Structures are given as C-alpha cells and as structure tokens.
Amino acid sequence: MKKSIVMSLLLLLALAQYIVAEAGFPRHVDPSLVSETPNLSDIFTLLHLSTMYLAELNIGKATNITSALREASVPQQFRDLFNRTLQLYTYFTSEIGMSINYTDSAREALQHNDFAKCSSLIDIAQRHLYNAEVTYFQLRDVLNYFTSAGLAGVIRGILGNMEKVLSITKSRVVEVLEELNEKKSFSLKDVAIELQVNTTKVLYGDFIEVVGSVRNLHGAPLENRTIAIYYSTSAKWYVKSNATGFFKIAIPVKACGNVTIFAAFIPQGPDVNVYRYVESSVNIVSTCIEPAIRIFIPQPLLVGVNSSMCIESSVQNIKVSVTSKDLGLYRQLELYNYSTCTTFSVPTNISEGVYRISVASEPRKGVPPKALHIYVNVTRLDTNVDIEYPGIILAGVLQALCITTSQKALLTVVTPVEIKSIGVPRNVKTCIAIGVPISYLNTKMNLEISVNPLNASYRPRVVNVSLQVLNLALLLPSAFLIAFAVIITTPVHSRSSVKARSIAMSVQRRFEALHRVLSPIAKEFTDVVKALSGIEIEAHMTLREYVGKALSKVPSEVREPLLNALKITERILYGLPTHVEELVKKLKEVLSRIARVLKS
C-alpha cells in the first residue's frame, strides 16, 4: 500500500511541476508570493526634499510632499514610527508657516505704524516659532530611531534643513522686532523729570531727601507714575507720583565721594507705547573716613592652646567682628583706642590646615564698613614615640611590646585577634603583652599601634608593624610528616633514586669535562712558572701562593707579565664561565710574550 501511495505522489509531483513551469505569466506575479520591499530610503529622500523646500520657505511645496508621503507604503515595522515622524514634521511645517505669515502681517502693520497690532502679531509669530523649535527637538528624537536603518546621512540632511528654516524664521522675527522697537523709540514722547535734593554735602550713612516732579511735555502732571531712584549701588528705591506729579523719598547715602543720584521714569502698562524711558540726575558729595584695619595673630596656631590676637584701626570707636566659621570663632570687639587684643583657643576637634579669619568693621556715620581676611596655619606638635617589639612572635606565647612616649597618651594596639588600650605616662617605658593563639595560621601578624596624646596640641601617631609568626605546633608535625614521606618513598621509588644518581653523575661528568678543558691551561701556566723559577707546585698550594713563592726567583722583566698571566688564569679557573675562549687566547698571548722575552 505504501508503495502505491509513493508511486502516485511521484507521478503527481512530476505533473504539477510541469504545469506550474508552464503556467508562468511573464508580466504578472502572484501578489501572495511577493515579499514586502523596504523603501525607507526613498521615503526619507522625499522627506529630505520637502525640508529643502521648507528651507527655501516654499511651504506649499513642502506641504504637498508631506501630504503625498502620508499615503506612502511604509514597511510594517516602521509604520508607527513613520506616522509619528510625519505628524511632527507636518506640525513643524505648519508652525513655521504660521510664524512666517504672522511675521509678514506684523511687518505690514509696522509699515502702517500700527505698533500695537504689530506687537501682538509678532508675539504670536514668536509663539509659533517656539512651538516649531520644540517640535524640532521632538522630531530629532524620533528620527534617531531611523539611524539604525542606515539612514543616518539623509536624517542629518533633514535635521540640517530644519535647523536652517528655524534660523531663517527666527532672523525674520528678530528683524521685525528690532524695526518695531526702533520705530517705537522714535515715536515715543518724552517726559520731563525735575529732581532736587535737600543737601548736596552729606556724611556716609546720612539720609538724603529726594524731591521731584514728573510731567509731560505740555507741563501736565503725570499721576501715579513709578519713579526709580538709584545711585552707584545696586539698590533701587521706587516712589509713585501724586496727583500733581510730585514725588518725595528719603534714601540713605552709602557711597563715598561724588555721588550721582538718578530719578528714572519707567513707562509701564499703556505708557509703554506712549512715553519714553527718561532719567534725571543730581550730584552730591558724600564724605567718608575709610578705616585702615590690621590684625596681628601669632602663627602657627596650636590646637588647644590659648592664642592672643590684636586688632588695630586708624579710626577709633568702631565695632569690629572677627569670625571664622571653620575655627568656631565669633568675637565682637570695640576699638575705643584704635586697638584691642583678645585671646582665643583653636578647638581640639579642629584638624591641621590653613583657615580663614574674617575681620569686618561696622559702618557708622562718616565711616564706611571695611572688611579684610587673613589666613592662619593651624598645627599640632609632634609626639616622640619609641617602640620595642619582638622580631618573631611564637604562637601561643605572650610577648611584650614596650613603648615610651614624650607625652601622656592613650596607647591602642590593634592585633588580628584583639584590641588593647592602655594609658601611657610621659617618658616611662610601658609594656603590654601581645600574642596569637596556636590556632593562628598566618606567618605574619600586622599590628597597628596608635598613640593618642591626651594633650590636644600634640599630634597623634599611628605606627604599623609586621611581625613574623612562628607556629611550632604546626611546624614540627609538618617537618615530621615531610621526613616520614621521604623515608617512606625512597626505597619504594628505586627507579627515581637511580635517576637521581644518574643526574649527579652527569653533573660530575660535566665538571670533569670542564676540568679537562681548563687543566691544560693551568698546566701550561705552571709549566711556564716552573721553567722561569725552577720551583715545583705543591699539592696544598693555590696558584697565587705558587706564583708568590716563585716570583722572587723569576727575572724582573717577566714579573709583571707573569702576574698578568696569573690574573687571567684565575679568571679562567674561578671566574664566570663567560668569555673563556677570549681569556684563553689572551693568556696564550701573554705566555708566548714571556717565552719571547726569555729567548731574547
């Protein structure tokens, strides 16, 4: 049965293949067999074209392209993102268009000198421009998602064009705004401000009465208008004009020398489009005696020690405040006789370093305030510490650690197993017992020895010490075990002992070989010495002893070359095994020179 089904299927397959092959329609394709073609780059190229038109302010063409793109076939996975892109871009285009339209209308209104209309229109244009800017940033974020689809270049172009159109639109708006302000300033009316003061000579800190009036050019008083009074300081005082246009205010003079007091009419509300900003001024002279302040503090300041501080001023009867937040210093001093002194102590919790102390004098009539800062160095004294500790700590055995300090102090010793604290008297050797239990397995013990002087003027010290630990309880069994293992394994692994023996023999052979190389040289040298002196070398002699003995019987002209030859031979025999060949060659040369001398 199975064979029958297989046969029938084969026949059908052959037939179907033939029919399908013949049934092709060259210019028509079954749409169900066609896969979706990605066309994002074409779509974005078109969007880029639209932005190019937009950058030329051809809103119509840009919008047409955008409308066409709305129905473009976009691959499924990008459809939502593209719709959002198009939505934002359409909004951007529309806002740019609105901004341009309103700017044009504002310009038209400006040509007809309708400033109020122009102003409101340009406001709307600015609002639309702002919306466009916000939309641009939103769109930039959305477009970033497309960069992964290989569209980075075209997206850069799109954003570039959008930035360009934003800039153009902005410049148009700014142009109209500037023109509006310029025209407005030409058409605004002046006001007249009269200004007087009750005196032109004052002392620093005196109040001065400023009186004046504000009127239009026809002399009519301007009621309930705001007048700002100010001089060189940043402070401003505001006063309102009354029904007759007058205003009056008393202001303190806190400036020195020639002071110009201004009264400024500031148009507000409907006045903005009617009156111009106008100001009037009057000069007065303010007399000041500036104090010269000096501060004397000994340096460096010791922590916890009372220090004196003196302040000197060129003006008497002034109050001075001395402050330092970091040092916790706050003093109010009165300088009745040009100077005063006080003491203060640097708190013990202050760390060493440089701190600022500020001195400020309070103003009084005719005397302006004065401030100065000085920097003081706060420090502590050194504590001398002498520590004696054992070189090796035996585990399980307590050993003494002794310390001598130059100050009464609290000694804290931190070991890996405990923390010990004791008081240490001044210049007296004090010992504490330290140790580790047998269970301590490390070979080293780190100690942290802290010496904290009870007098805060002295600097604490911390000494770190590392001690060797010897744990006999572990060492002895280990040694026993190793020895036991050696004894046990030696007879069992006879082959390895044979191997060890063979290695020793090979080393021996190597030395012998080296000796064979070297001995002829030594023999040659001793032969030469023997030939020169007639003395035989003895068994216990070194070469140097032999040459020393023979030297007296050797002709004087060869003594130096012989000593030279001895040095070379010693270097060959006992020196490093480098450059041996070179040395042998050199020795032979020296020996042959000796032989030549002898012959001659």
Partner 1 sequence: MKLWLSIALGILLAFVITSIIAYLVPSADDLSPENPLWNGLTKLVSYTNATVIAYPNVNRLSASSSTLFIIGLARNLSSSEIENLKAFVENGGALVLASEKRELNSVLKGLGLGVAVNGSLVADRLFFYKSPLFPQARASIAQHNLTLYLNYASHLSAYGKGKCMAYTSPFSFEDLNMNGARDSEELYGPFCIAYAEPVGKGVVYVVSDSSIFINSMIDLSSNKLFATLLTQGRRVYIAYEQDAETLYVAFRSSVMGFYRTAFGSELRYFTAIVIGIAVYKALKVLLKGAITKH
Summarize as ranges the residues that interact with partner 1 (CB under 8 A).
Answer: 1, 3-9, 11-12, 15, 18-19, 22-23, 25, 27-32, 34-37, 39, 42-43, 46, 68-69, 71-73
Pick between residue 27 and residue 540 the one whose CB is nearest to partner 1.
27
Distance of closest approach, residue 63 Cβ to partner 1, in angstroms: 15
Distance CA 491, CA 464 (A): 50
Distance of closest approach, residue 67 Cβ to partner 1, in angstroms: 12
Distance of closest approach, residue 53 Cβ to partner 1, in angstroms: 14
List Cβ neighbours of 278 (8 Å cut-off, separation of 6 or more). 190, 191, 192, 193, 264, 265
Owner of token pair 């009621």: 223
Distance of closest approach, residue 77 Cβ to partner 1, in angstroms: 14
Pick between residue 11 and residue 422 the one whose CB is nearest to partner 1.
11
Distance of closest approach, residue 82 Cβ to partner 1, in angstroms: 12
Pick between residue 29 and residue 517 the one whose CB is nearest to partner 1.
29
Pick between residue 11 and residue 441 the one whose CB is nearest to partner 1.
11
**Alpha carbon separation from 586 to 22, 475, 521, 569, 578 (Å, rounded):** 101, 55, 12, 10, 14
How buried is residue 483: exposed, middle or buried, by Cβ count under 10 Å (0-12/13-18/19+)?
A: exposed
Distance CA 20, CA 13 (A): 10
Distance of closest approach, residue 29 Cβ to partner 1, in angstroms: 6
Q: Give the H/E segment covering residue 53.
A: helix 40-55
Take residue 57 and report the two structure tokens written for it.
């302010």
Distance of closest approach, residue 43 Cβ to partner 1, in angstroms: 6
DSSP string covering 362-428, please?
PPBTTB--EEEEEEEEEE-B---EEEE--SEEETT--EEEEEEESS-EEEEEE-SS-EEEEEE-BT-
Owner of token pair 């060259």: 26
Distance of closest approach, residue 2 Cβ to partner 1, in angstroms: 9
Pick between residue 17 and residue 439 the one whose CB is nearest to partner 1.
17
Sign of the CA dihedral with 587 first, then 589, 595, and 597 last: negative
Helical residues (DSSP H) of 77-221, grouped into ranges: 79-111, 115-144, 152-187
Distance of closest approach, residue 141 Cβ to partner 1, in angstroms: 25
Distance of closest approach, residue 105 Cβ to partner 1, in angstroms: 33
Distance CA 406, CA 429 (A): 10
Pick between residue 47 and residue 529 the one whose CB is nearest to partner 1.
47
Pick between residue 146 and residue 231 the one whose CB is nearest to partner 1.
146
Take residue 207 and report the two structure tokens written for it.
């109040």
Distance CA 81, CA 73 (A): 13
Pick between residue 77 and residue 384 the one whose CB is nearest to partner 1.
77
| DSSP 8-state secondary structure symbol assigned to residue 350 | P
Torsion angle of the four alpha carbons 407, 413, 419, 421, in this order, in degrees rounded to the nearest 10: -20
Pick between residue 28 and residue 516 the one whose CB is nearest to partner 1.
28
Pick between residue 29 and residue 431 the one whose CB is nearest to partner 1.
29
**Alpha carbon separation from 45 to 65, 147, 151, 154, 336 (Å, rounded):** 11, 14, 9, 7, 86
